[in-house]
Amino acid sequence: MAAKAQEFSSVWTRPERQRKDQPALSREQIVTEALALLDTEGYDALSMRRLGSRLNAGATSLYTHVTNKDEILELAIDEAFGDVPMLPGVAENWRAELLTLSRDIRAAILRHPWISTAMTGAGLAYLGPNLLRLSETMLALLEAVGFDDYSADRAANAIWSYVLGTTSGETAMVTTIARSGQDQQEWFTNFMAMAVQATQSYPHISKRHGTMSDIDVAQSREDFFDDELGLILDGLEVRRARATGK
């Protein structure tokens, strides 16, 4: 099994390296500093050299714990999801609990917007303990309310895919707004005015842009998230009723 694990390059598929002497840096120090660098300067700022400099250590010291930058990203991604609270796991409230969990995952990504970029190339990041905890919680709740193993797996994948996908688009918009120097409402109003003009040959799209020009952007981002996830939960409720007869 250990030999098989080595076929995959991930910090989660091999045991943490042990040394007889006390290393100058701990894994916790490296992860904490990497997270701070990513949060303040973004995905592109992370490098082994840059991180080593911030830790007042050579890049060689980092290799005691990780083999490359990708492994640092795996550790940082998992750490960023560590603040997502556990679900109570009450089956009667399964829809509300899945909505709450999804909101909390979204909030974690918005706090750490570099995650959206990092997740696309982080390989086996989902094997980190915090992400495994979240997936395990979601699957346990789905199975508790009547989904079989296959359906629970598909349902959890659908929820994860929606949350990660839509929040990636949201973080891209928030980053663009920050770079513009405008506040969120001003940027959105100007963008919608431009979009209406640009989509005049596409009446259904243009109409949508026109009706959105006066919305409260911050509140609408949350409302849209809840409404769109609700479509997935509606579908899951139909499938559950069909499977359980309830």
Confidence of residue 237 (pLDDT cuts 50, 70, 90): very high
Q: Is the pTM of this model over 0.75?
A: yes
Mean pLDDT of 47-75: 85
CATH number for the region 86-244 comes to 1.10.357.10
**What pLDDT, on a 0 to 100 scale, did the predictor assign at position 13?**
82
- Nearest CA to 239 out of 138, 151, 153 is that of 151
Asked whether the predicted pLDDT for residue 51 surpasses 50, the reply is yes
- Residue 189 phi, psi dihedral angles, 5° rounding: -60, -45
pLDDT of the residue at 127 = 86
pLDDT tens profile 146-190: 999 999 999 999 999 999 999 999 999 988 998 899 998 899 888
51's tokens:
């991180």
Q: Is 70 exceeded by the pLDDT of residue 44?
A: yes
Which CATH architecture is the domain 2-80 placed in? Orthogonal Bundle (1.10)
Give the amino acid at 148.
D
**Range with lowest mean pLDDT among 10-24, 87-101, 161-175, 216-230:** 10-24
- Per-residue pLDDT, averaged over 57-77, amounts to 84
Give the domain ranges of the chain: 2-80, 86-244
Confidence band of 22 (pLDDT split at 50, 70, 90): low
pLDDT at 1: 45
Q: Which amino acid is at 96?
A: A
